[in-house]
Structure 1
Amino acid sequence: MENRKEKRGIEITRQYFDFLDQHIEDVVNGQSPAFMELNQIARELAVSHTHLTDTIQKEKGNHPCHFYDARIIDKAKHLLIHTNTSAAQVAMILTYDPANFSKFFKKWTGQTPGGFRKANKIKTTS
């Protein structure tokens, strides 16, 4: 019985991360108007909010929101480094108010979006 529960926990965790990756892409590509709440994601995965939270915390050691935010930050970093889209536009693509996004980004990275871009922008030779 315990082995089946462990396998289910791994399966739910995989489904959660796969869902996050696809959902974030859908938001960036305009196929989804906004980021879903955690309870909505749980519903899409056919589990309760509590079960999803408990499972992710047990499997990965942090609340699901931690990983959700981390994936959004990773997408923002990618957009900042690999495109010429302004930091304000990146914020809006990710459905954030630019000022709030800057605070959110700095909390996670220690840098503003513009500072991060300047320090990490891939140099192109022309």
Structure 2
Amino acid sequence: MEDRFSISVNPQPGKGELVVLFSGRERTMPGHNVGPKVPDYFLVHHVMSGKGTFQYMGKTYGLGKGDSFFIFPGELSRYTADKDDPWSYRWVGFRGDRADELLAGLDITPFKPVAKPIRHNRAAVLFHQIQRLLSNGGPGCDMRSGGMMRMLLAEYERESTQRAEGSGGKQSPIEQQVERTIRWLSVQYSQPISIEEMSRSLGYNRTHLSKMFKQYTGMTPMHFLLKIRMERAKLLLRERLTVEQVAASVGFTDPLYFSKQFKKWYDMSPTEYRLEADGRTMYDCND
């Protein structure tokens, strides 16, 4: 019988755009739980069979065979196998200078962490091949596993493309610009960002981008960024982090300015929100 758990590690991970760190598989026990945990690398799981739940960024996803879920560095996650039909999955941990950008191009972000490759069997084979490459080791292991990882991400690109085509046909250039900006902001929100830097990174004219973005979303890019940051801050305030740590995690270098913006957004200070959230949690537990 196949072992319930196995993992293979890249013996000499390099540096670059996309680097595989490790890969593994597991047939979980009923109710098996992982987390809460915060990794310092990217992690993708692909469900081979069974089902379970994935808790991420304040949402809970019910997942089954053929689904994949992505975990980003610095983000809190928890996932649990079903008690009656526990899942079996494969996973790959990776990092890279362009990992954020590559995933955002597939419409996979911390706010959209679940994907479903069209060819489940093909994706499963690639997960298996990556683990086998790492297990065998040898010269070229790092380069070959990185290439195989790109092939795996291409399977998610197929799904992203088909979903876009099925949602109303080809997007206009302006719609593509706005969508790309939203994905960029969803990934980079934890970094200090200016409209000039964003426009330069995306290759768009600042004035044109701001006008088109507001036309399609009803708010400016920087207001949309603040919305992302405030929503993320609410989630982090429920964890055992200081206000200073929460501020830094959502892109604010000045915790006092962060507190001022939070109160303006929610009509209460971060500390007041935390006390209210803790009170609701205690009530729910005792209800």
Letter in 2 for 1:91: A
Q: Which position in structure 1 is the counterpart of 2:181?
A: 16
Amino acid at match of 2:247: A
Q: Whose helix fraction is larger, Structure 1's or Structure 2's? A: 1
In the other structure, the counterpart of 1:66 is: 223
CA RMSD of aligned residues (A): 1.9
Please say if 1:92 is aligned against 2:253: no
Paired amino acid for 2:225: Y
d(CA) in 1 for partners of 2:248, 2:185: 18
The aligned amino acid for 2:228 is R
What per-residue deviation string (whole Å, max 9, x for no partner) do you get for residues 16-35 of structure 1?
110011112xx3xxxxxx41
Match of 1:35 among 183, 186, 192: 192
Could you tell me which runs of 5 or more consecutive residues in structure 2 were left unpaired when the two chains were aligned: 1-170
Q: Which has the higher strand share?
A: 2
Structure 1 gap segments, 5+ residues each: 1-5, 28-33
Q: How far apart are residue 58 of structure 1 and its match?
A: 1.0
Q: Is the 8 A contact 1:91 1:97 kept in 2?
A: yes
Q: Kindly provide the amino acid, as one letter, of the partner of residue 14 in structure 1.
A: E
Which structure's CA Rg is the greater one?
2
Post-superposition CA distance 1:63-92 (Å, at most 9, x none): 1111011111111111112x1101122123
- If asked which structure has higher relative contact order (CA below 8 Å, sep 6+), I would say 1
1:9 shift after superposition = 1.8
Distance 1:90 1:100 in 2: 12
Question: How high is the TM-score relative to the length of structure 2?
Answer: 0.36
Q: Which amino acid aligns with 2:281?
A: K
Aligned length: 111
**Structure 1 outlier segments of 4+, above 4 Å:** none
Give, in angstroms, the shift of residue 8 of structure 1: 1.6
Does the 8 A contact of 1:80 with 1:113 survive in 2?
yes
Q: Does 1:123 align with 2:286?
A: no
Task: State the TM-score, normalizing by the size of structure 1.
Answer: 0.78
